[in-house]
Structures are given as C-alpha cells and as structure tokens.
Structure 1
C-alpha cells in the first residue's frame, strides 16, 4: 500500500469501508456487559494478531493490548477504545440489531472498537511510523465504578505498556457527520453516586396519621436537594444533581416503611464533592422534621476528564489536516457526562476527542434504545487514528 504524501487520509482507508461496517455490525449484534466481554475480546484479539502485532489478552479481565514496534525511536503512543455494552433493550429493527435480550451497544463502543481496529490494520500495512504503538481495548467503561480503565491503571497498564501519551475517541450525536471536537483542560465531568434510604413506619393509606410516611419525606428531600447546587456551588461553576431512582411501596393503599433514592452528581472543580456534607445535612434534617430517619452514602466515581495542552493541540491539528479547520471545534463546551478514560489521563498526558455522529441522532442520543453508531464514521475515525500515530511517531523519511 502506497502511503499518502502527508499522512493517512479518508481515501486511503475507504477500500476497507464495507469490511469495517461488517465488523461493526457483528459487534453490535453481540453486545456484552462490563467485564463480560469474552466474545468481543476474542474477536478483537484475532484482528491485530493477523497484522503482526504482539497481542496481550486478559488485561483487567477481558481487556487487551496489541503492540506494534517499528524503527528505533523510544517514543510510544497509546490509543484506547472501550468495549462494553449497556443493559438496555434495543428498539431498532434493522438486520444487525442486538441478538442479546436486554443488552445493546447504545453508546457506540461497537464503532469505537471498529475504528481502532481499522487504524491498526492500516498502520501495520503502511508501517509509516517510528516508535511503539499500543492499541488498548478497555472493558467496563459503562460500569460507573470500579471500571475497566481504573482497573487497567491500577494493575500496571502503563508499567507494562509505557506510553508517552494516550488518546481516546468518543462519538457525539447531534452534530453533522464529519466533525471532530475537543478542548484543552477540563472537558468531561466527574461522576459521583449518592444512595439514600429514608425509613419510617408503614401503615394503612386510609389512616396516615398512625404511620410515619417515608414517601412524603423522600419528596421533601428531593425538593430540598435542588438547593445544593444553587446555594453550595459558585454560580460560575457547573454541577448537576439528578435523582434517577425513587423506589418505595408496592400497593397504592399501603404506606411503605422505607423509600430509596439514587442520585447522579456531576462536577468539574471539586465544589460539588466538597458540598457532600450539605447532602447529609439536608437529608437528615428533612427526615427528622417528619419523624423519620435516613441513611446516606456518597461515593466518588469517575474523576474529571482533563486533556493535556500539548497532546490536545496535536489532536486538533491532526483533525484539521484531515477534515479541514471548518469542521474542527477546539473549544467545545464542557460536557457533564463522565468517562473513565479520566483515570488514564491521570496517569499519562493525553486527550479525549469527540467525533460527530450526525444530526439525525439528535433525538436518539447516547444510552437511548433507538441509538445507533453512524457507519460513515468508521473510515474517518480509522484515518484519524492512523494520521495521529504518523504525526506523533514520525517516520525517519517524512511523509
């Protein structure tokens, strides 16, 4: 394969478009949840192995790293793709819909894996870089705690596979296809979990005065929690509190003895986490005012995704070379979603970049049962990864 004069282009990867689509559809049909990605891992391991990579499996359980060393340079780059699906029942009816009941690739990890495998194939074929490439396939990004990236780093990922920089890509529904976006510094929020149990005394719905109703207490707590951001986080900072679960009772004529609340908390600067005592005070005082008791457990989750300056500048430069400056957004808004790639960025300089998934997906966002990854991104994403490696690990003979 003749390498392009100035690095990989979309046209160079286009001959493999149909093969990449078939591979992506295979991943989509066979989704696996966090740390259960056995079939996915086996499928992935076969691909780089055919391209002369050194394949290491069983990293953090079902993860893997494929390594290709060329030339004599000491620099190394890591490219990461996530593998796991979500516990969601798919509503799409196309011929490659999920074959696993209650599981689907509703976040595009099927596409992320395929783009990276396409780049791995291209880079092995052209061999136009000088240094070490680590292609990282990470399990359990969707877990929300004790995740794949966290385990990989804790188990010595960057000791076993040293990287001078590490990069990841995530799709972004709602923008026209063909765009690439990122930002320097803080990019995606930390994600914490709060578990609240409100306890009272159950009773008969017709005689509520003889009970201590935790449903009323939970409702009071929900309204009061909205003041945490408004009165504990500075107005120029971003934080989000969402009560995603309210569960209590099984019959309309019975007052339950217990109600459970589950919260998702997103923040960027530590103020929301520092406000954790406010959660405790609000929950306890609201409960006590109604003769109830409460238990609260605040658990810190993924840290903030913080892109490093030099690596983000390079990532954006490569994006502009590939698609044109008019299709690159280097000042993307802060995203209140969370990503466990943050753990890798705590251990190594690097950058997370977003690839637009198309405007047609605006009403079928990530984690939606009608979501689907845009196959038009497969070649673009693979070409981007290939060009980034060629830029980061330039060959002796300039492209």
Structure 2
C-alpha cells in the first residue's frame, strides 16, 4: 500500500516515536516534549531547522540534490493535544492525567518526522522542502502565530503548502479530498442581556432576561432554517445559557448566551453574523432590554485550491490506487487553522483513512473521543503520499 519499497520498513521506528509522543501530550503552546523530540531527531539527521515560530513551532528546511527549480513546497503537521482523560487502555496511553492525543496530532508529527528523514536521506528532488511542525491547532491559532513570526516570509516562502488529517470515519487504505471548502470557518459569539430583576411573583415589574434569552435562542435558530439558502451549509449552535442566582423566586438582572457558528463560504458567514446582530437589536427593543452582541471570527474556512487538490489527490492515487482516492467528499463543519495558511499560500488538505473492521477498535473512535488512538499502520501511507507530492512537483529530471 505504498509506492516506495523503502518506506514500509520505516514504520516501526516512527510508530515508536509516535507512541512516545502519545505518552507525553502537551496542550497548545505547551508541546514541550514534542518540540524537544522533533529538535533532537532533526539534529541527529543533520537537518537544519528554525525553532520558536509561534512559541513552540519548528520549521525544518531540506534542500534537494539540485535547487535550480527555485521552488519550495511546504508540508505541515500539528503537535498539540487535548484536555481529555484517556480511556484507550493502550500500553502507550498518556502519562499525564487529564491530557491526551485524542485527535492524532502525535501521528501527524511522527509522519512529518518520517518525511524529513526520507527526504534528507534521498534528496531525490530539485528545490526545497519546508516542514512545518505547528503548535496550538486546537483553538490556539498556532498557524497564525507561526505566520506572525515569519513563516512564509524570506527564506521560508513556499510555492504551495499541504497537510493531512487522519480520518477514523474512512477505512485504512483510502484518502479523501475535495476542491474548495473542506473544513468550516469557526466563529464564536457572546450575547449579554441586561434586564431588571425583581420578585418572581411580580414579573410585570421586571424585565425578564430569561424569557428574553429563550426568545432570542429560538429566533437565532431560524437564521439557518429561513435565511441561509438550502444549498449552502451553516451551523449555529447555542452552547451556553446562564442566568439566575439559584433561587426559585428571583427574576435575575442578567443572562448570558454563548455559542458557535460554522460556515463554508464568506457570503454565508457575513449573512449569519448580520442576521444575528439584527435579531439581537430588535429583540432588545421589543422587550426594552439592553442586549450586547459580540461576534469573533476565529478561523477562516479551509479552502483547497483546485490545482493543488488535483496534485495531492493524484499523488495519493499513485500510492493507494485511483479507486481508493475519493475526490469529492463531503466537507466537515469542524474547523482547522490550516485554513489560515491556505489563505496565504495555495495548497490543499487531505484526509487519510485509518478505520479498521470491528467497531470496538480505538482506530474507529471519533476524533476527540477518550478512547481514540492513531492507527500506526497509516504512517507509511502518509509519509509516501507527501514524499510523492514533493518529488512529483520538484523532479530532478
């Protein structure tokens, strides 16, 4: 299930690194064990690197046998873990209480280390490869922190950049991709309602923020159902509604509502935010309450460039077989800060299947599940796909 015969024997070495990373997780910007391992291995293999981009981020630079093409290809892997207590029962389970690699970023890091070692040993390309070990994908905007510190500038400029995610919802031996939006934008909102408190027996003397908030939640849900065109994708989820003192007989002064919005297009994103703002203003006027609406655009959609989608899909097909590469998969309404990199440099994001027969396997558990574990059998596949991406675009001949 690989193109290069020399890659499968690498599996055990990089599976061992992956399991060590899994045992020693770090939250966003605290990926100290991962950072130290990456730096140690790059140093052992004689690969120059730059540390400290985005605090704990690392960029390795590998030159091919020739560098007359003038082109540079970037590959990115994320390194951070999640605040979840592990329940996978694997021998290499997390040693840190309350933290685990529940999204497979340990595997992504091990994959990129494998790409680094292979490229350094063979150098079978004409140009440069930039390998990006990124911190803080899980809500920390690590991609933006690295770019703020100079990623994609000066000698770190790239002509294209690629990344992948392990995908437990897809069988091992397959890959999935689509041109255009493959992951959604991530926006968060906070709504503060200020009314007038009083005795619950005399509601006519109060401005009830609980009733106003309940009305507001219902009206917000109408936006996707009645304002977003049916052919577009959008999610608006209210995730917190807090009010009251705990007393049975007091109408409180304030209520707070928070939640998230996910969209795949800039136009839908603008529409949802504008409608939310209008509804908050009108509900406030109707009930004579003060409503403060705050909307944060956290992460842009991950939008695959059409040309680079074909490049990585074709590379995956040469590794896995064309019949095993799904080229028009459904987009995910989850978010990914790699979209920020793709907004600056053209490229693509692909999913590589890791699911196996048997529903109880940790490789089939959903991402962010306490029983999840990365499938080490996809390490040779992912390494080979990215090597193929580089060597096919930067041929020596």
What is the TM-score when the length of structure 1 is the normalising length?
A: 0.90
Distance between the aligned counterparts of 2:15 and 2:375, measured in 1? Answer: 10
Q: Which residue of 2 aligns with 1:123?
A: 119
Q: Which residue of 2 aligns with 1:383?
A: 384
Closer/same/farther in 2, CA of residues 42 and 363 from structure 1, 3 Å limit: closer
What is the TM-score when the length of structure 2 is the normalising length?
A: 0.91
Unmatched tracts of structure 2, length 5 or more: none
Closer/same/farther in 2, CA of residues 102 and 10 from structure 1, 3 Å limit: farther
Distance between the aligned counterparts of 2:116 and 2:290, measured in 1? Answer: 56
Q: Would the aligned equivalents of 2:363 and 2:372 in 1 still touch at CA under 8 Å?
A: no
Deviations 1:20-74 (A, max 9, x none): 2221122122211112222221111111222221111001211010111121322
Residue 344 of structure 1 and its aligned partner are, at CA, apart by 1.2
Query: Any idea what SS the aligned residue of 1:373 has?
Result: coil
Length, aligned pairs only: 388
Q: Which residue of 2 aligns with 1:63?
A: 57
Residue 288 of structure 1 and its aligned partner are, at CA, apart by 4.3
Q: Which residue of 1 aligns with 2:345?
A: 348
Residue 340 of structure 1 and its aligned partner are, at CA, apart by 1.0
Residue 76 of structure 1 and its aligned partner are, at CA, apart by 1.1
- Is 1:200 the equivalent of 2:189? no
Query: Any idea what SS the aligned residue of 2:333 has?
Result: coil
- Is 1:374 the equivalent of 2:375? yes
Q: Which residue of 1 aligns with 2:234?
A: 239
Which of 260, 265, 270 does residue 264 from structure 1 map onto?
Answer: 260
Query: Any idea what SS the aligned residue of 2:260 has?
Result: strand
Q: Would the aligned equivalents of 1:10 and 1:379 in 2 still touch at CA under 8 Å?
A: no
Q: Would the aligned equivalents of 1:37 and 1:62 in 2 still touch at CA under 8 Å?
A: yes
Q: Which moved more, 1:385-394 or 1:131-140?
A: 385-394
Q: Which residue of 2 aligns with 1:296?
A: 293
- Is 1:24 the equivalent of 2:18? yes
Residue 348 of structure 1 and its aligned partner are, at CA, apart by 1.2
Taking only aligned residues, the RMSD between alpha carbons, in angstroms, comes to 2.2
Distance between the aligned counterparts of 1:334 and 1:123, measured in 2? Answer: 31
Q: Which residue of 2 aligns with 1:165?
A: 160
Which of 16, 32, 35 does residue 41 from structure 1 map onto?
Answer: 35
Distance between the aligned counterparts of 1:8 and 1:54, measured in 2? Answer: 28
Residue 289 of structure 1 and its aligned partner are, at CA, apart by 3.5
Which of 223, 230, 246 does residue 228 from structure 1 map onto?
Answer: 223
Residue 156 of structure 1 and its aligned partner are, at CA, apart by 2.4
Closer/same/farther in 2, CA of residues 226 and 60 from structure 1, 3 Å limit: same
Distance between the aligned counterparts of 2:147 and 2:257, measured in 1? Answer: 32
Closer/same/farther in 2, CA of residues 287 and 91 from structure 1, 3 Å limit: farther
